[in-house]
Amino acid sequence: MTNRKRGPWSWSTWIPPIVSFLLALTAVGNAAADEMIATLDGKPIYLSEIEENSAFQIYRLRSSIHSLMEREAREIADGRLLSAEASRRGLTVETLLKKEVDEKTPPLAEKDVDDYLATHPEEKVKGPEVRDRIRIYLAQKALIQQKLDYMDSLRRKSDYRFLAKAPARPRIKMDIAGRPWRGVENAPIVLMHFAHFSSPLCVDSAEKIRRVMGEFPGRVRWVHRDFFSIQDPDALYAAEMGQAALEQGKFWEYHDRMMDLKGQVTRQAVNATAEALKLDRARFESGRKEGRYLLRVKEDIGYGARIGIQAAPVIFVNGIYFSGTFPYEEMKTIVERELQ
C-alpha cells in the first residue's frame, strides 16, 4: 500500500474544512431564518415546525412577557419621576406625596355623602350602614384622584417612551381536511370557525362570516369545526347530530337552522330540526351508539385546544386568530389585508 504524502496545499487536505465551513454557513442561515429547538438522532426540529400548531400559544406567552415589561417599565419610570421631583425640592418621596396628595385633597364633609345619596337614591334602601360605606368610598376616591392627577402632571413634563416591540400576530397551519365547508373550494380566504350551536356569541360570529361571504362573493371558504364544553349535554347532542347531517349531506341546512335558534338549543329542538330536514334517525342512533360522531367532535375540540383555543367562538382567517367577539369591521380589515 502506498502512503502518498500530502502537502499542505493539496485539495484533499482542504476539502473537509471547506465542507464544514459551507455546512456551518448553511446552519447559520437556517438559524437566522429559523431556530433549532431540538434534535432527534442528530436531525433538527425547528421552531417553524413547532409553530405550525402552537404559534398562537407561543404568541400568548410572549405577549404576556411584553405586557409585564410594559407595566414594570412604567412603574420604574413613575418611581424615578417622584424621586427626581422630591430631590429637586429637597424632600423625601413620602413628604412630597404628603404635601401634594394628602394635604391637597379636600376633606370630606357630611354634605358630600348627602349629595351622593341624593344623586344615587337607590343606595338609600341598603340600610343605615350605607353612609359609612359611602364615606369610605368618597374619601378614598378623592385621595386617589389627587394622586393620579399629580402623577399625570409629572408625566406630562417628561419624555417617556416604551421601546420593546410587541410580538407579531402569528399564523397557524390550518387543518381543514374532511370538515364541513361552504363557499369556493380554492378561495383565497379560508375562514375556520370554531363554534357551537348553544351560544349566542357563536350565533353572532356566524353572522359575521355570513356578512364577509356576502361582501366578498366567490373569495371565501367557510369551514366549520365544533368547539364547546364536552360536559354540556345539549351542545354535545347538537354537535353529534351535526356530524350525522354531514354524513347525510345536509350539514349546512342543519347548521343554519340551529343558528336560527339564537343559542336556545335543547334536545327537543335538535330532534325537531333533524325531522324537518328528514335526516335518517336510525342511522344517527346507530352512529351515536358506536361513538362515531363523538369521536369526530372530540377530534375537533382536541385540535382546537392544541392550537390555543380556550373558548368559542374563534375564527381563523387564513390561519390568523380572530375572536368572534370582536366587531365585524375588524374581521373585514383582516380579510381585506389577506386579499391584498
The contact set with other proteins (CB under 8 A) reads 57, 59-61, 63-64, 67-68, 71, 120, 122-123, 126, 129-130, 132-134, 136-137, 140-141, 144-145, 148, 169, 200-201, 229-232, 302, 305, 310-311, 321-323, 325-327, 330
CB of 223 to other proteins, least distance (A): 20
Distance CA 283, CA 280 (A): 5
Closest CB to other proteins among residues 64, 92: 64
Bridge partners for 190 per DSSP = 221
Q: Residue 220 in contact with residue 213, Cβ under 8 Å?
A: yes
- Sequence-ordered list of residues with C-beta below 8 angstroms from that of 81, at least 6 positions apart, any chain: 151, 154, 155, 158
Q: How far is CA 42 from CA 27, 29, 83, 125, in A?
A: 13, 18, 55, 74
Q: What number of CA atoms fall less than 13 Å from residue 41's CA on the CB side?
A: 0
Closest CB to other proteins among residues 169, 173: 169
CB of 273 to other proteins, least distance (A): 23
CB of 106 to other proteins, least distance (A): 14
Cell match 413547532: residue?
50
Closest CB to other proteins among residues 184, 201: 201
Closest CB to other proteins among residues 208, 251: 208
CB of 182 to other proteins, least distance (A): 25
CB of 153 to other proteins, least distance (A): 15
Distance CA 281, CA 267 (A): 14
Closest CB to other proteins among residues 34, 204: 204
Classify residue 227 by burial, with Cβ atoms within 10 Å: 0-12, 13-18, 19+: buried
Closest CB to other proteins among residues 124, 211: 124
What number of helices (H) and strands (E) belong to the chain? 12, 7
CB of 77 to other proteins, least distance (A): 17
